[in-house]
Structure 1
């Protein structure tokens, strides 16, 4: 709170008079970040709806690197985020016709998105090119014939992840999630 007050050019006490405590401040900030989700006009086509919702979420979370950690605490969600989740679950239901499958799809899509955001933020924090020192150390400690798939993939991971990488992963996940439903 003290650092934030300093950044805003006000006293800590002035900040506390307006927001009461840190939890309230974080909740207000999360609401403000999620509020634009409430204004999204989602396409009628379910796949396009999911793609728009999840890419918007990815872009928003990578633009606000403190948000993923803030979301760990309970009761931290805004109305806009609820509407985004509802749109994705509804689109998944339109594809699957099954509420449980739609919820499972949403959870998988959320996990992919959050994991991609965390990877993106980690890479941003490390800088480019990425540091693979620890990975190199671990891989050097096992025999050369082991981990063939990981060894073959290491060169693919030298470039920082991007929004395009996320979209490719999103497409792959959606294909797998909805393949058995005729899509």
Structure 2
């Protein structure tokens, strides 16, 4: 009786590589950004987490900047727009505070924007409202654009500073660099800072973003009032 032949092992099929869902790429990148920040994001890291190779990922995303743009896109749409007051000055302040509040809840977006030339088109309605409100208050279009830039610098600068202080606070062994560095010997050269050093934390902890932004906006709009 002839021996039965053992079945040959099935040949592995060779086909196209597994398709990567673009939404999965973006969700993975956003998760890394939210938990670890921009420094932790790389094409290699994302490729590993979605189960593919960096070379395969480049078929879907041009580079890291492109990945950051894709991740930013649509972020603004997840934040409901507020009801805005009719008065243009109040509207300008309301939009500025909305911008500050939305970004404060998404520190990774602040970090990405800090790389330059990266933004979410869906967030441009805030720029439109601020510029439009400035014009309605009597500013020239050029001054309204400059006023927006000033407001943005205040918002962005405050958020960057707050996040830096939060990171420092996570290390209880580190002292605050200012005003701990001041001593009585500095009184002649820095009289005001030395006098206020003991109250500095109290005064800065009481910082009111709405009040200070309002003061900045009133100063910017004063240019239109003087022209009138």
Number of residue pairs the alignment of both structures matches: 180
Match status 1:140 vs 2:210: no
Q: Contact conserved, 1:37 with 1:84, CA < 8 A, in 2? A: no
Does structure 2 conserve the Cα–Cα contact (< 8 Å) formed by 1:37 and 1:83? no
For the 8 Å contact 2:139–2:221, the answer to whether it is kept is no
CA distance in 2, matches of 1:24, 1:176: 38
TM-score normalized with structure 2 length: 0.64
1:120–1:161 contact (8 Å) kept in structure 2: no
Cα contact 1:61–1:68 (8 A) shared by 2: yes
Equivalences for residues 9-20 of structure 1 within 5 A: 10-11=51-52, 13=54, 16-20=58-62
Say which structure is richer in helix.
1
Gaps of 5+ in 1: none
Partners of 1:110 and 1:172 in 2: how far apart? Answer: 14
* Paired position in structure 2 for 1:67: 109
Question: What are the equivalent positions in structure 2 for 1:149-164 lying under 5 Å apart?
Answer: 149-154=192-197, 155-158=199-202
Check if 1:177 corresponds to 2:220.
yes
**Cα–Cα, structure 1 residues 140 and 48, in superposed 2: closer, same or farther, change >3 Å?**
same
Name structure 2 gaps, 5 residues minimum: 1-41
Moved over 6 A (4+): none
Deviations 1:138-158 (A, max 9, x none): x33963222233234442335
1:46–1:92 contact (8 Å) kept in structure 2: yes
Identify the match of residue 91 of structure 2 among 44, 49, 59.
Answer: 49
Q: Report the aligned-residue RMSD.
A: 3.3
Deviation at 1:27, TM superposition (A): 0.3
Q: TM-score, normalised on structure 1?
A: 0.77
Where relative contact order (Cα < 8 A, 6+ residues apart) is larger, the structure is 1
Is the Cα–Cα contact under 8 Å of residues 42 and 87 in structure 1 kept in the other structure? no
Which of 108, 118, 125 is the matching residue for 2:167? 125
